[in-house]
Amino acid sequence: MVEIGAPKDIQKLYNFVDDVSDSELFETWKPKIRAYLADLDKEAIEEYRVPSTEVPKDLDEKSFDTVEFLNETKHLSEEEKRITDSSVVDIEKEIASKKLSSVAVLKAFAHRAVILNQFTNFATQFFIREALTKAQELDDYISKTGKTVGPLHGIPISVKEQIGMAGKVTHGGWVAWLDFIPKEDATTVKVLKDLGAVMYVRTNEPQTLMHLDSNNNITGRTRNPFNSILSAGGSSGGEGACVGGRGSAIGVGSDIGGSIRAPAAFCGAWGFRPTTRRISTAGGVSSGKGQETIVAVEGPLAHSAEDVDYFMKSYINSGKPWEEDPWCIPLPWREVAKPKASDITVAIIYDNGLVAPHPPIARGLNAVAEKLKAAGVNVIKFEPLEAEEAYDVCCQIYTCDGNLAQKAMLKPSGEPLLPLTKWAFSMGNGDKALSIIDNRNLTARRDNLRKVYNDYFVKNKVDFIISPTYVGVAPCTVDDGIAGPFFWGYTSLWNILDLPTLVAPTGLSQDPKIDTPNKDYKPRSYVDKIEQNKYIPELFEKAPICLQLTGRRYFDEEVVAFGELFEDVMNA
């Protein structure tokens, strides 16, 4: 085992009773897991795969760069590489003008996805044959009518497994849910299919859906496509690996504490956490139904800000999700032009005062500040604002029911608890359920925080805030996640505030030679110490450096438009 800086005495922070795992009971579920995995194997079309001899046996011991492999392999044709390197916007243009067929596009992405999965284990389910039939129907439609069925006609979209699909097992990472087969598609699946999207793969997630990593007792751990010993993030880690490795044109994840953004950032993708009630979450499996203090969202992981914009516009303006799900607000997606650099003010969170970012993230923040300034942006420093208060409320809310809902979903299978599940159960007050009055008080504290941050934007005329997504780049999670992400405070801040937040790649990646540890840093807390101890520069080579861009509530369009400017500036 490589030294990964795992905390040695994390148990002292545990704040729960394991009254759910039961190894005998779990044995009885193993045949079901094996059947599920056999189906996954069967549907990962044989002829799409690379020979198993090309897949290193030591992916979990030694860094392997799958993206580089995919870019160089001869198993993908040049045309397949061209297609999978294209944006959704460009693919859609080629499909609409009949330069590309939906079948060709699907084959390219599915082929790449199957290979990517051999290395990263990002998929929970393939159904490529079914998708090919659908793609053929779309091709027939366009050749008959000359029109596309909708703005996502023929776009291969990956979807986090937790989002229900009719007739397909939807377990959400809970072993006991392997029996659950929804009768109807989740609203988002329905909307996307109606717009012409083609679905062919569902993606991995962690046990409980409450890790910023993706490991569970069904499909196991998803590897980072840039470095196989690192985490692909979570809870939408399958999406992170899939989109980061270009196994899909665009993907859909969900996020209540960082679950779209950590995977996007760890895997070098764009990832958007919209404001609540713009994208439907109806029809997803989770433990949090009815918890409304911090509300989960769904949103895209993508290859560019432009694709995020196209997805959101298509989903909202053409998809009209409120016809299906009255939780969604009939608020059109506005056309917002890329801002002029000299017109905007950006505040940067260099450090939230609780846990300092690791050297590569600090370097990323500084590089971004310099480039934005050079482009004419008014860049200011964001002084930490109620970060501790915000994190305290988040942690208490995540476990406010005393882990009862989670345990009720785990218990029927007796599955063992993974290290990051133990951590998630220990947040806030752990197993101690709060009263309704306690919960209301937390909600009132949340509202106060929202007011404080809204005032910050309005009174200081700040347009956007840039912040780390996580303390570091993707952490190493080879040992069941024991050195995984513990501190969620940089992402969960935007969940509690419900502010639209876009993860944007900086184009930079970790370099052990430059990003040397800061030996003078004195950890401010035990959790800070855990996070700092994990920074062993050699582990993280090639891990992408991605940051969060945040704007005001329901100013989602402005945030994405700023993402386009950010992309220009960083590429310049």
Residues interacting with a second copy, by CB under 8 A? 282, 289-293, 322-323, 325-327, 329-331, 400-402, 404-405, 433-437, 439-444, 447, 450-451, 453-454, 458, 497-498, 552-555
Report the half-sphere exposure of 102 (CA within 13 A, side-chain side).
31
256 is in an annotated binding site: yes
Select 156 or 283, whichever has its Cβ closest to a second copy: 283
| Alpha carbons 321 and 404: distance in angstroms, whole number | 31
Tokens 């492999």 locate to: 69
CB count within 10 Å of CB 143 equals 10
Tokens 């969940």 locate to: 495
- Catalytic residue list contains 160: yes
Give Cα separations from 253 to 157, 181, 203, 235, 437 (angstroms). Answer: 11, 20, 9, 8, 32
Say if CB 315 and CB 331 are below 8 A apart.
no
Select 2 or 433, whichever has its Cβ closest to a second copy: 433
| Alpha carbons 293 and 498: distance in angstroms, whole number | 10
| Alpha carbons 64 and 261: distance in angstroms, whole number | 23
Select 353 or 402, whichever has its Cβ closest to a second copy: 402
Q: How far is the CB of 182 from a second copy (least distance, A)?
A: 15
Q: How far is the CB of 434 from a second copy (least distance, A)?
A: 6
Select 155 or 285, whichever has its Cβ closest to a second copy: 285
Select 329 or 375, whichever has its Cβ closest to a second copy: 329
Instruction: Give the type of residue at 483.
Output: A
DSSP string for 176-210: GGGG---SS--HHHHHHHHTT-EEEEEE---GGG-
Q: How far is the CB of 296 from a second copy (least distance, A)?
A: 13
φ/ψ of 257, rounded to 5, equals: -150, 5
Q: Which of 107, 134, 160, 313 is catalytic?
A: 160
Cα angle value 407/431/257 (rounded, 5°): 75
| Alpha carbons 546 and 527: distance in angstroms, whole number | 22
Q: How far is the CB of 338 from a second copy (least distance, A)?
A: 20
Name the helix (H) or strand (E) containing 105: helix 102-120
- Catalytic residue list contains 235: yes
Select 465 or 474, whichever has its Cβ closest to a second copy: 465
- Catalytic residue list contains 259: yes
Say if CB 74 and CB 297 are below 8 A apart.
no
Which of 199, 190, 191, 95 minimizes the C-alpha distance to 147?
Answer: 95
271 is in an annotated binding site: no
Peptide bond into 235 cis (omega under 30): yes
Q: Which of 259, 304, 426, 492 is catalytic?
A: 259
257 is in an annotated binding site: yes
Tokens 């079901």 locate to: 32
Select 313 or 371, whichever has its Cβ closest to a second copy: 313
Report the half-sphere exposure of 161 (CA within 13 A, side-chain side).
37
- Helix, strand, or coil (residue 449): helix
Select 434 or 482, whichever has its Cβ closest to a second copy: 434
Select 29 or 457, whichever has its Cβ closest to a second copy: 457
Say if CB 223 and CB 241 are below 8 A apart.
yes
Give Cα separations from 31 to 169, 324, 520 (angstroms). Answer: 15, 37, 52
Report the half-sphere exposure of 49 (CA within 13 A, side-chain side).
14
| Cβ partners under 8 Å of residue 136, min gap 6 | 102, 103
Q: How far is the CB of 69 from a second copy (least distance, A)?
A: 45
Which of 167, 152, 151, 105 minimizes the C-alpha distance to 131?
Answer: 105
235 is in an annotated binding site: yes
Give Cα separations from 276 to 307, 329, 443 (angstroms). Answer: 20, 9, 16
237 is in an annotated binding site: no
Q: How far is the CB of 394 from a second copy (least distance, A)?
A: 15
| Alpha carbons 280 and 187: distance in angstroms, whole number | 6
Structure tokens at 485: 């992400």
Q: How far is the CB of 426 from a second copy (least distance, A)?
A: 18
Say if CB 562 and CB 339 are below 8 A apart.
yes
Which of 469, 442, 427 minimizes the C-alpha distance to 255?
Answer: 469
| Alpha carbons 185 and 149: distance in angstroms, whole number | 19
Q: How far is the CB of 293 from a second copy (least distance, A)?
A: 7
Q: Which of 235, 254, 286, 467 is catalytic?
A: 235
Select 488 or 555, whichever has its Cβ closest to a second copy: 555
Report the half-sphere exposure of 200 (CA within 13 A, side-chain side).
35
Q: Which residues are annotated as a binding site for substrate?
A: 209, 235, 256-259
Q: Which residues are catalytic?
A: 160, 235, 259
Q: Which residues are annotated as a binding site?
A: 209, 235, 256-259
